[in-house]
Amino acid sequence: MTRNDDPDFWMRARRHLIRYGGTFAPVIIERAEGSFVYDADGRKILDFTSGQMSAILGHGHPEIAAVVAQHVGQLDHLFSGMLTRPVVDLATELARLAPGALERVLLLTTGAEANEAALRMAKLATGGWEVVSFAQSWHGMTAGAASATYSAGRKGYGPAPTGSFAIPAPNAYRPVFEKDGVPDWRTELDYAFALIDRQSTGNLAAFLAELILSSGGIIDLPPGYLAALKDKCVARGMLLILDEAQTGIGRTGLMFACERDGVIPDVLTLSKTLGAGLPLAAVLTTPEIEDRCHERGFLFYTTHVSDPLPAAVGLKVLEIVARDGLVAQADERGAQLAARLRALQQRFACIGDLRGRGLLQGVEIVSDRATKSPAPELGDAITRRCLEFGLSMNIVQLPGMGGVFRIAPPLNATADEIDLGVDILERALEACL
């Protein structure tokens, strides 16, 4: 019998854990190293999502472990009104790397917390309270971030704050507007904001956007869209907040995904990738906005704001990414991954669409390419087969689209590991069809 079937473990899990979404994989993970996790039988499982899309240096990176060990024993947590060198040093380095004048930094723990702080700043700076985001968005589970999250989790929790609006994301594979057979995102965006203008009370504060909507099915904003969105915000006195929780720190082949479009947001939030799997998040904004918020009494005093241990980890992450050329490597490995996936698409008619950038790519599974009909049972079966064959895959099932595999290996994954992952996916497809 496999040790993963430990009846006592699963009995206690069922009895004592609050279920927080989805189902648990039927394995007990005992350790993790590099691009792999190891189950109770000692079996290697290739982690093709970097944990929760976060471990961009793989698991158990020795330099990260050394930083954690040092700061646990020397300088881990302080009164929030005290400052340390790691905090100021990380803020300085983020300000150096960030585009434009995003020079003021707030260090927090999670992406939801960073988005919460960003929304509070936007409301305070503009005097408005209305927030717009994409209908397939995911920005977090705290109150403000959850009110701007539309891909899941809205039913049963009562009304969202007044002024929570959504517009459709520009899905090129399933476009709402077309012109001469080509997706027409400009008309869609114009129409969406015409509806926002009709609903707004004149108190628009911010648009909160992911560059690639991950939980929304790896929907990549097309070139030109971000600039047009920024223009819509400027015309209405709104701030543009970009949530780069998953796209920041090199994953798309650029340090920040917004660099492709040459668009500088008013506020940028980072999380997941900044801590390489450890809880660290950041809010970056301009001196002008920060000064205005400070003058108006901005308050975001939390238990773990400006903690030195995660700040030291973030500094080491940025050092390793730069030293090892991992931004360029993500671009190179991403091209390899895309080529392998295109070859699979030629073989398997259930692969309806491929999309994404760098090492954040999506594979949409459908039952019929002509109709693009969803195939949720097939997607789930492929996921189970992948795990059986030694590959951890993550699929999101959303209304109106096929199940989408989110593929996000570590930035330092080897070429052989990329090939191994696609080889196992191919084997799982063969077994399910």
Does the structure show a pLDDT above 90 at 257? yes
- pLDDT band, residue 184 (cuts 50/70/90): very high
- Is residue 424 classed exposed, middle or buried when 0-12, 13-18 and 19+ CB atoms within 10 A define those classes? buried
The predicted model scores a pTM of 0.98
| Rounded-to-integer distance, Cα 31 and Cα 40, Å | 9
| Rounded-to-integer distance, Cα 174 and Cα 401, Å | 8
* All domains of the chain in start order, with CATH: 3-61+325-432 (3.90.1150.10), 75-323 (3.40.640.10)
- pLDDT band, residue 83 (cuts 50/70/90): very high
pLDDT tens readout for residues 223-233: 999 999 999 99
- Give the closest residue to 318 by CA, choosing from 417, 248, 410, 241: 248
- Catalytic (active-site) positions: 138, 210, 243, 246, 272, 406
Core vs surface per residue 200-219: b (16+ CB within 10 A) or e = beeebbbbbbbbbbbbbbbb
Average pLDDT over residues 277-281: 97
pLDDT for the residue 213 = 98
pLDDT tens readout for residues 133-159: 999 999 999 999 999 999 999 999 999
Q: Which two tokens stand for residue 252?
A: 């798309």
> What is the rounded (10 degree) CA torsion for 330, 245, 274, 283?
140
pLDDT for the residue 197 = 98
pLDDT for the residue 302 = 97
Does the structure show a pLDDT above 90 at 36? yes
To the nearest whole percent, how much of the chain has pLDDT over 90? 99
Does the structure show a pLDDT above 80 at 1? no
Average pLDDT over residues 67-79: 97
| Rounded-to-integer distance, Cα 340 and Cα 394, Å | 18
Average pLDDT over residues 350-367: 98
pLDDT tens readout for residues 291-317: 999 999 999 999 999 999 999 999 999
pLDDT tens readout for residues 380-406: 999 999 999 999 999 999 998 999 999
| Rounded-to-integer distance, Cα 5 and Cα 199, Å | 53
pLDDT tens readout for residues 94-124: 999 999 999 999 999 999 999 999 999 999 9
Q: What is the mean pLDDT of the chain?
A: 97
Does the structure show a pLDDT above 90 at 22? no
Does the structure show a pLDDT above 90 at 287? yes
Q: Which two tokens stand for residue 271?
A: 């999380």
